[in-house]
Amino acid sequence: RVKALNRLQVILQHLKMSKQTDSTAEVLLEKKGGAGIITLNRPKVLNALNLSMIQQIYPQIKMWEQDPETFLIIIKGTGGKAFCAGGDIRAITEAGKVGDKLSQDFFRGEYGLNNAIGTCKKPYVALIDGITMGGGVGVSVHGHFRVATEKTVFAMPETAIGLFPDVGGGYFLPRLSGKIGYYLALTGCRLKGRDVLKAGIATHFVESEKLPALEKDLLALKSPSKEKIADLLNSYHMKCTVDQEKEFVLDEHMEKINSIFSAKSMEEIVKRLKEDGSPFAMKQLETINKMSPTSLKLTLRQLREGASMSLQDVLRMEYRLSQACMKGHDFYEGVRAVLIDKDQSPKWKPAALEEVSDEFVDNCFKPLGSDDLKL
C-alpha cells in the first residue's frame, strides 16, 4: 500500500510539474536532470513574492530535499530586470487595514520559506541577476550559493516604509563584516554589481549573459556535490573580469561606518553622525531623518539581538515585529507615501526618535503565545 501510494504521489507530482511550466504561472517549478528549478515569473511586478507563490515553493523545496534524484536547487527570476524586488506589499497593506488574516499568513509563510532555504540539505543556488530586495533577499541569501551579476541591485529598504529588514535580516545583516549590515539596514543603502559580492552578500560574481551557460553546466554535472558545484561556480567567477579593478564602494567609509554604527542606540548613532560632520556622515543623517523613527529603533534592536541568535529564533522574533508593525501606524503611512500616492513625504507617528519609548519597543518584541511563529 505504502509503495503504491508513494508511486501515486510521484505521478501526481509529475503531472503538477508539467502543468506548472505553463508560462502564465506566477512561479515555474520544474525538474531538469538532477536539478529542481524555481523560476519567479511575475516580471511586470519585478517578480514580487505573493502568498500563493510562497505556498507553491515551500512544499516543492521540501519534496526535492527528500528526493534522492534531486541533487541541487536553482532559483532565478524572469524578465531580465529583477530577480525579485520584494514581497507583495500592497496586498499585505490592504489586508492589514481590514484585519484580514493575510497579514499573518503572508509573514508566516514567507518566514517558513526562508527557514526551509536556510536549513535545506541540498545545495541551493540563487541567481540574483537584477533587482534583489526585501523578500528577494529572503529567498536567496540563506542558501549556500548566491551568484550576483553586473545587473544586481541589492537593498533592504524597509525602514523607509515603516517596516524593518525582515526575512531573516536580523540573522544575516549583523554577520556581515564590521557594521556594514547595520548601515545597510538603517539607511536602506543600495549596493550594485560586484559590491554585492564585496559586502559578503553574494558568494560569486558572473556576467549576466553567462548565466544560461552556467545553468547548463550546473545541470550537466554528474551527481553534483556541494564541492563540485562550488568548483564550477568558482571557475565562472574567476573568469569574470567585469569591474574587477573597482574598489568596494564602501571601502573609504568603512572606518566611519564601523565606529558610528556600533552605537547602542539610534539617538547615539545620530549624535555620532552629527559630531563627525563629514559629507558622508551628513548624507547618512539626511537619509536616516527620512526613515520611520519607530522602524529605526526596532531595526537596531533586531540586529543587535539577532547577532547571537539562530536563524529560527531570529525568524520568530521577526514574526512578532511584523505583527506589531501591522497593528501600528507607520507601515500603512510608509506604503502610502512611497508606493501608492508616491509623494515621498510620510507623516510618521511618533515623528521623532526621542518619542519612541523603550517600553513601546519592548512590547513589539514580546512573545505572542499560541500565535508565535512555529518552524
Known catalytic residue at 247: no
- Is 36 among the catalytic positions? no
- Block residue for cell numbers 547618512: 284
Q: What is the 3-state secondary structure (H, E, C) of the chain?
A: CHHHHHHHHHHHHHHHHHHHCCCCCCEEEEEECCEEEEEECCHHHCCCECHHHHHHHHHHHHHHHHCCCCCEEEEEECCCCEEECCECHHHHHHHHHCCCCHHHHHHHHHHHHHHHHHCCCCCEEEEECCEEECHHHHCCCCCCEEEECCCCEEECCHHHHCCCCCCCHHHHHHHCCCCHHHHHHHHCCCEECHHHHHCCCCCEECCHHHHHHHHHHHHHCCCCCHHHHHHHHHHHHHHCCCCCCCCCCCHHHHHHHHHHCCCCCHHHHHHHHHHHCCHHHHHHHHHHHHCCHHHHHHHHHHHHHHCCCCHHHHHHHHHHHHHHHHHCCHHHHHHHHHHHCCCCCCCCCCCCHHHCCHHHHHHHCCCCHHHCCCC
Set 88, 158, 318, 330: catalytic member = 158
Report d(CA 124, CA 117) in Å as an integer.
Answer: 8
Say which of 34, 36, 86, 87 is annotated catalytic: 87
The CA distance from 244 to 17, in Å, is 40
Residue 306 bears catalytic tag: no
Q: Is 87 part of the annotated catalytic residue set? A: yes
Strand 191-192 and strand 145-148: pairing? Answer: unpaired
Residues tagged active-site: 87, 135, 158, 166
